[in-house]
Chains A and B, each alone.
Chain A
Amino acid sequence: MLTFVALASVLLLGIVPEQTEAISIYTGWERHALLGSDVRLSCSFFSWRGTSDDVTFSWTYRPDGSRDSISIFHYTSGQAYVDNKGPFRDRVEFVGNPGKRDGSILIKNLDYNDNGTFTCDAKNPPDIVGRPSSVRLLVFETVPIQAGVITGAIIGVVLGLLVLIVVIYYLMRFLVARRVFSLSVSKHGKKKREGTPARQGPVPTADPTKVKAASSEKKKQESRKDKK
């Protein structure tokens, strides 16, 4: 029985990790960049195996509206090879760190012809089964504002103003009520010393509405007294 369990566990341990091995490659979804600027296309991968010395990265480019892709970058055996004949000649630079599973490239001096899809494919032997990931590059003359930024800003500012007004209103009420309360307490104190029957003031609470009601009640009482 025990040997059966031992064999089964060895088999499971032997089989299961290999089935879940598949390299996952991550790039951005879309990149917006200004005409003439540089853009960094990032590519990283996740693999169940440790990073091997034979890790390879390759980038291919497919222009918008075209079906053919050309290879523009390849890293293998610790050496980076950049495009020296195609549309990106002398404009591609390797800025990644293969030891840290980063295969990013930098494309300099962008032009409208660079609009297209860039695909990163990484292999980490023996982990070579994986799906390449693509990032779309869009080159603009002026970078447009992302959808929702202005919307959020306007809503945030108006609601913030509303909250500010409410807070200031309650603060003013609280401060005024406290001042009136302290004034009337000092008046009551003087009357007590003069020997007139003490009028029981309300118990001081931190509640501004009650304090305000109490202070307004006291004001009414004082005005009635003054009229007398």
Chain B
Amino acid sequence: MLLLLLGIVLLHIAGLVLLFVSTIVSVWISGETSTSDLWQNCSTISVGSHCDPGSAGEWIQAVQALMILSIIFSCISLLLFFCQLFTLQKGGRFFLTGTFQILASLFVMSGAIIYTVMSPQWVPDTEAFGYSYILAWVAFPLALISGLIYVILRKRE
């Protein structure tokens, strides 16, 4: 039982860490000399790197908001899990925790989808998607599976 619990918590925390890294580290698009992401465009010209604040389009702001919301909801669901662990009746299900985690995964999914769809506007064809973008896509199924496990899990002992 304890192992199961540990495994679930680790899965959740792994998803959370991926979300944090994906939102904060600036490598959604990477090209030869420049990387850009939700918050700024950085380019390495000759000496060191030089960052400009990114474009303030409506869609990129929506992606920013969705990523931040997914982090907030994932954190809330972690807190709720620990709360419910101690207050739930025997045989009860972690519905609330699962709901928040599934919502977080939906937010990541919408954010990644919007970014993918709108990227022809922002990304020149020569540049490829960077690892933060891939991490966001990986975080989505991780969070979804974690949320589903919470909904199915029953409290024992």
With beta carbons under 8 angstroms apart, the residue of A151, A158, A159 that contacts B61 is A151
With beta carbons under 8 angstroms apart, the residue of A144, A145, A147, A150 that contacts B65 is A150
B: contact size bracket: 10 to 19
* Residue of chain A at shortest CB distance from B68: A155
Establish whether residues B69 and A155, one from each chain, have CB atoms under 8 Å apart when the complex forms: yes
A205 within 8 A of B: no
Establish whether residues B56 and A146, one from each chain, have CB atoms under 8 Å apart when the complex forms: yes
Chain A residues within an 8 Å CB radius of B64: 151
Establish whether residues A154 and B66, one from each chain, have CB atoms under 8 Å apart when the complex forms: yes
Interface residues of B in 46-62 (CB under 8 A from A): 53-54, 56, 58, 61-62
Q: Interface centre among B62, B65, B68, by most A CB within 10 Å?
A: B65
A109 vs chain B, min Cβ distance (A)? 26
Cα A155 to Cα B65 in complex, Å, equals 6
A-B interface contact total, Cβ < 8 Å: 35
Cα A155 to Cα B62 in complex, Å, equals 9
Establish whether residues A145 and B58, one from each chain, have CB atoms under 8 Å apart when the complex forms: yes
Chain B residues within an 8 Å CB radius of A152: 65
Proximity string of chain B (61-84) to chain A, C-beta cutoff 8 Å, 1 when within and 0 when not: 110111011001000000000000
Q: Interface centre among A148, A152, A158, by most B CB within 10 Å?
A: A158
A: contact size bracket: 10 to 19
Cα A159 to Cα B56 in complex, Å, equals 22
Chain B residues within an 8 Å CB radius of A145: 56, 58, 61
Chain A residues within an 8 Å CB radius of B72: 155, 159
A12 within 8 A of B: no
Establish whether residues B53 and A154, one from each chain, have CB atoms under 8 Å apart when the complex forms: no
* Residue of chain B at shortest CB distance from A157: B65
A149 within 8 A of B: yes
* Residue of chain A at shortest CB distance from B58: A150
Establish whether residues A147 and B69, one from each chain, have CB atoms under 8 Å apart when the complex forms: no
Establish whether residues A158 and B56, one from each chain, have CB atoms under 8 Å apart when the complex forms: no
Cα A145 to Cα B61 in complex, Å, equals 10
Residues on A facing B (Cβ under 8 Å)? 144-155, 158-159
List the 7 closest A-B pairs by CB distance, nearest first: A154-B65, A147-B56, A150-B61, A151-B65, A151-B61, A151-B64, A155-B65
